[in-house]
Amino acid sequence: MIVAERSYLSRLGESVANFDSDGVRRLCREALAAGVPPSKLVTQGMAKGMDIVGQRYEEGKYFLSELIMAGETMKEGMEVLKPFLEKSGLEKLGGVTIGTVSGDLHDIGKNILAMLLTAAGFEVIDLGVDTPAHRFLKALHVHNPDILALSALLTVAIPQMQDVIRKIEEAGLRTSVRVIVGGTPLTHDYAREISADAYGASAVDGVRICREWMSKTER
């Protein structure tokens, strides 16, 4: 059983990394029938495939289109596993609330980060685009996420990130949530200047940072 389980997990990861949606669906069904826990198929199978995709992206072997394809491929597997995961109660890695700040309608980078975070095991609440500070603040009260991810592509919208962080500080919630910012015009220096906890240079980088945060016992 152990050998068969490892084979299923390995092949499932390879199928995700190679965008083989049919293979992912088939392997999920076969592995479930063989008794492999659905949680393992996610965390030790498909998620490992996404790790491979992220590594290839950082090495310049994969590009934006491949990230999207890999995410869509994993979604196919999640659809097969969803009923079984609900029964088994798969524990989420953490909670992330994400959105593009007010004054900016760009969502490609945000959507990719949300997709990759979901694939990595996070519970993601996506507030969409053109999101004012008060909506981020309300989401923190309602969802109590571990991480808040702010996105902006337009230079004129970037100051809204600082406004969101200031509102969170005024509400006394800043110590209860990590803030990561992302977008082409941003830099690590600017992230520090506005009191964000981190700057994600890419969606893959953002996922890595969020996973590192959640791997620590203290925030």
Task: State whether 38 and 61 are in the same domain.
Answer: yes
pLDDT band per the 50, 70, 90 thresholds, residue 89 = low
pLDDT at 218 over 70: no
Which CATH number covers residue 118?
3.40.50.280
pLDDT band per the 50, 70, 90 thresholds, residue 215 = confident
Structure tokens at 211: 């996973």
The pLDDT assigned to 85 comes to: 79
Tell whether the torsion through CA atoms of 193, 196, 198 and 199 is positive or negative. Answer: negative
Task: Please give the average per-residue pLDDT across 35-40, as a whole number.
Answer: 90
Q: Report how many domains make up the chain.
A: 2
Tell whether the torsion through CA atoms of 190, 148, 126 and 208 is positive or negative. Answer: positive
Range of 160's domain? 94-215
Nearest to 150 by CA among 175, 120, 129: 129
The continuous run of DSSP H or E covering 47 comes out as helix 47-58
The pLDDT assigned to 217 comes to: 47
Task: State whether 84 and 105 are in the same domain.
Answer: no
The pLDDT assigned to 90 comes to: 63
In the chain, the percentage of residues whose pLDDT exceeds 70 is: 96
In the chain, the percentage of residues whose pLDDT exceeds 90 is: 69
pLDDT at 74 over 60: yes
Task: State whether 119 and 47 are in the same domain.
Answer: no
Is the pTM of the predicted complex or chain greater than 0.75? yes
Alpha-carbon distance of 180 to 195, in angstroms, equals: 10
